[in-house]
Each structure stands twice: as structure tokens, then as C-alpha cells.
Amino acid sequence: MSLAMDPITVEVIGNHFEFVTQEMGITLVKSSYSTNIKERRDCSAVLLDAQGRTISLTAYTGGHLGSVLGLMEEVFKRYPLASIEPGDVFMANDAYSGGPTHLPDITVVAPFFHDGELVAFCATVGHHTEVGGGLGAAADIWGEGVRIPPIKIFSRGELREDVLQLILLNVRKPDERRGDLEAQFAGVRTGQRRLRELFSHYSRDQILGSAAVLFDQTEKRIRRSIALLPDGRYEFEDCMDDDGFDAQMIPIRCAVTIRGDEIELDFTGTGPQVKGGINVTFNALRATVYFALKSALAADVAPNAGLYRAIKIVAPPGCLVNCVEPAAVLNRSDAYSRVIDVILGALAPAAPDRVIAACKGATTGIAFHGWTGANNRYWSYLETIGGGFGARQGLDGVDGVQTGTSNTSNLPSEAMEMEYPLFVERYELIPDSGGAGTYRGGQGILRRYRVLADGTYFRTKGDRCKTRPWGLFGGAPGFAGRFILNPGTPGERELGSKEFNIPVKKGDVVEVWTPGSGGYGEVSKRDPAFVLRDVLAGQVSREGARRDYGVDIDEARLKQLAHDM
């Protein structure tokens, strides 16, 4: 752009870009049908320029950073730029042909024209709880659901009903899918309407020039943050428990190299892609890397395309974090949660004041489904559950929150119970689950469900049941996770973290224990007064205080302190 941009105009237009995506996201949430979007907000909204570069992003869950990376390249392969017209809308979900990072995430993207010129795209992403496929553990992408390459779902403003019907015929809940897709269509229309307002107030050159300046500003800020770190090569390795099939203790290795204001992350040495659906596509890896570096190095920097320019990623094709077709990817979020831990572990020596100990390290969750009612209607419910957020320099970890790229909202038990034959009997933090340290790790969550209908099945989703979230600089690891069927009964059964289609009957109980997180700093340096405070709050048990911190708390004194408080 040859136009000299006034910084105040750039700031105003930049805020408008952010407003556009925020309102798109609100439209999507408020008009959606499923609890997964309207309550848990497993969705996002994105504004892109005509080349497909991210201008602004409202991501309720960080994993959706990867839902538009590479999308427009695939759209342009199938639909040359000259063939795209006003009123067209595209849709995709295939992880290997421009869609998001797994099939349940469906992207809808619409072009925006100004004076006959295509100048931007508005996109919404929604996680759909059911997209067909088999009900057992899929060993390839075809078993995970209907695959949608970038296709035109609206042509010149007219819905292609035949295309939509073809998709809906391949899912078990077509009404819910249609309702959520209609919400996504409404979201992009909101974006187009707000862009028309913006272009009525500012010139084309001012708006597009502002986007270019914002890209440059983001690049400068992330480069400045990288340049503050000492040059060098820093390595770290962690591993996944298993893939739900045969693979065990699958390594994820990262070498971070800092040279001036540039950073390279090399995942060579990571294990090969596996049969189970924890594989990560390269676009998903990119999103995870950008999220981790933005969080650690420049949390307030805008998540636009300028963020990517100073970052190089190396990952051998066919490895766990750069899988190739037809690898299954349904539960890829558990692996990229671990990727974040590995990146932070590698950065710890270079930036000890900016990184945290390992978080729960998996997008721990559970999914129920079944057939109930007089019409034997199919229902499906998925939720991910918070856990421990790692301790860091000067602060304890956070208890019972979503971590990493998983940022979905907590679904109130009452909202779930109104729609599904499930009842939540317990929902509480787990004492002692946060790793000990100068600063204590965050606690995991115990959530117990009672099944209220026969014909119900469920699957477990997670990791960190065999490995524990590590601590930093002398901090202890957090507790591992668990999945238990009918706890405390003769039929009690400890489940794996990746079991599918487990049958349960009315009255059965399923209990999920999410992992805690690691502590930070030497345990011996924790102030005993803080240990006492944790015991009073129920975050640490008296036994845990004695065992982990060497602090013996007299029960009578504890009762007196509790009374005084």
C-alpha cells in the first residue's frame, strides 16, 4: 500500500475488525441449536483478507486457530478467484483438504465484495457433536464421519439444498446439524453486514491498508519478544500414554532454536502417526505452535497473519504431529495439548519467568449417546472438562479450568440434565491433585454422571492417565487422570482414556477424574502459611500437607482457625 496510514485510523479500523468477528461469534452462539455451541461455545469467527490471511479472530477455543489455515488455498484450487461471486458461500470439514483440524469442526466461509471487487472473507467454525461415521474407534479418517471438501453450499445467494441434504443424510441428528449450520450462515451474514458499514465510512485503501499495517505491527511485536530471549537450542520431550489401540508411550519431541528475532520449532524425533485418532495435521500443529508462543511471549498481540512470519515449524511428514492421509484425527486435541506442554518445557530454560509447569495435558472429556423415547430418537452429548493449570513463577496454578487450546465454557449441570438422560451426582475439585512446589499446581476435577436411560453408550477421551503433568524447577508432578465405571461397587471397572462405545444401562455411574498440573519451584520453599491456607480451603488434605510439604497441622488448631475465619 502506497497510502500513508494515520495510526489513529488504523487503531479505529482495527477495533472495527475485532468488533466484526465478535458480533459474528455472538450471532453464532445466540442462534445455534446444540448445547455444544450455544452453551459450551465450541466455535469461532474469523475475518480474512482476499488472499485468505487472518485479519481478526474471535476464538472461544484456541484449537480453532487452525480451522482456517490453508482453507482459502484449497477453495481457490476448486473455485478460481474469478469464478467466485456475491452470494456464494463455501463449507468444509475435511482435515486433509482445507477443512479444520478434525471432521466435527465445520467451517463456513463467505466472500465480501466492495464495488465489484472481492476484498475479504467472513468465516465461522462450529464443533458439531455428531457428523456420522462409525460408533467404534475409527482407525482411519473415513470411519470418523462424513468428509466435506471445500464446496459451494450457497450459489449467488441460493442455498444448494441438494448438497445440504446429501450431507444431512449421512449424520444421525440432521435437525441439530441443520440448526447449527443455519447459525453459522447467520454468522457470516452478520460479518458481511458489518463490513458494508465499515466500507461506507472509510475508503478501500484505508481499510486494506490498515490490515497490512496491523500485520506488520503484530510481526514486529512478536519479533521483539523473541529477541529478548537468549539465542540457543532448547529441547524437551514428553509422551502420550497410548493411542487406544496398540501404540504405547508415543514420544513428542521439540527442539526450539532462537536466532535473534526468529524462532524455529523442530519436531523431528516425534513418534510416527498411529492407528488411533490422536494424530495431528500440520495445520493443527501450526495453530498449536502459534497459540503456545503467543501465550508465552506476547499474550496481548493480535492473532492475525503477522504472528506467523517470524516462526518456522519443522515436522517430518508421517509423524504424530504432521500426519498424512488417511490417519484418524478425531481426538487430535489430546496430542496438541501435549505439544503445548512440550513447547513450554523447551522454552523454560530460556524464559523461566514466562512459562508454566505442565497443565493437565489433555482435552479430557466424555461423550454419551443413545436412543430414547417413544420414537427411539438418537441423542448425542459431548463435553470436555477442566483440570489443573500449571503453576508459574510467583503464582500458584489455577484449579479446575480449561487449559491450552481447549477453552470451552463450563456447561451448567442443569442445562445438560434438561436435554439428556443424564444426572450429575458430583462435581468438585480433587484435593492434593495439584503438584507440590514453591507454587502449587492447579487441581483437577471429579465429575460423576448417573445414566438415566437404557440403550446408552459412551466413550472416554483424554490422556495423562499413565503419565503425570510434570513440575518445573523442583516442582512435583500433578496427579494423573482416571475414568471409572460404577465406582465403589462390585462391578467397578477402571477404563482406558480412549475407549469407544461402552454400553451402560439405567442406573450405571461413570466417574471422570481430570489431571491436575505441575508445581513450580522447590517444595521446601513453600511458605507453611500457604500450606495451611490450602488445607483450610480443601485444596490440600492434612495427609497431603504432611506427605508433600512436611507440614503437620494439628486438627484442633485447624478447627479453631476455620472457626475464626
The pLDDT value given to residue 563: 63
Instruction: Find the distance separating the first CA and the last CA of the chain, reported in whole Å.
Output: 63
Same domain, 513 and 559: no
Q: Are residues 347 and 364 in the same domain?
A: no
Same domain flag for 232 and 135: no
My answer on whether 98 and 47 are in the same domain is yes
Cα-to-chain-centroid distance, residue 165: 29
Pairing of strands 232-242, 158-159: unpaired
217 falls within a domain: no
**pTM of this structure:** 0.95
Beta bridge partners of 110: 122
Structural domain including 344 reads 222-351
Kindly state whether residues 427 and 466 are assigned to the same domain.
yes
Clarify whether residues 195 and 226 are in a common domain: no
* 320/274 Cα distance (integer angstroms): 7
pLDDT of residue 408: 79
Residues 433, 416 within the same domain: yes
Distance CA 494, CA 487 (A): 9
pLDDT at 2: 41
**Which residue, 5, 287, 281, 1, is CA-closest to 144?**
281
Q: Within 318-372, where are the H helices?
A: 332-347
Which segments within 8-98 are labelled E, that is strand? 43-49, 54-59, 89-92
User: Which amino acid makes up residue 403?
Assistant: T
SS3 381: strand
- Taking the C-alpha atoms of residue 231 and residue 245, their distance in angstroms, rounded to an integer, is 41
- Least Cα distance to 467 among 236, 255, 251 occurs for 251
- Is 136 contained in some domain? yes
Q: Which helix (H) or strand (E) holds 24?
A: helix 7-31
**Which residues does the chain have with pLDDT short of 50?**
1-2
Using CA atoms, how far residue 554 sits from 87, 417, 524, 559, in Å, is 72, 42, 20, 9
Are residues 197 and 68 part of one domain?
yes
Are 506 and 408 part of one and the same domain? yes
State which of 506, 522, 538 marks the end of a domain: 522
Q: Is residue 212 part of a domain?
A: no
* 300 assigned to some structural domain: yes
Answer yes or no: do 258 and 363 share one domain.
Answer: no
On whether residue 422 sits in a domain, the answer given is yes
Does 270 lie in the same domain as 186?
no
Neighbours of 308 (CB within 10 A): 20
pLDDT confidence of residue 565 = 58
- What total of structural domains would you count in the chain? 4
Same domain, yes or no: 331 and 450: no
pLDDT digits (tens, 9 = 90+) for 219-277: 999 999 999 999 999 999 999 999 999 999 999 999 999 999 999 999 999 999 999 99
Query: Tens of pLDDT along 25-35?
Result: 999 999 999 99
Confirm whether 461 is domain-assigned.
Answer: yes
Residue type at position 366? I
Query: How is residue 522 written as a grid cell?
Result: 522447590
- Which pLDDT value is given to residue 316? 98
What is d(CA 510, CA 423) in angstroms, rounded to the nearest whole number? Answer: 10
A 10 A CB-CB count for 412 gives: 12
pLDDT at position 235: 98
Q: Would you state the cell numbers that stand for residue 17, as one nine-digit string?
A: 475488525
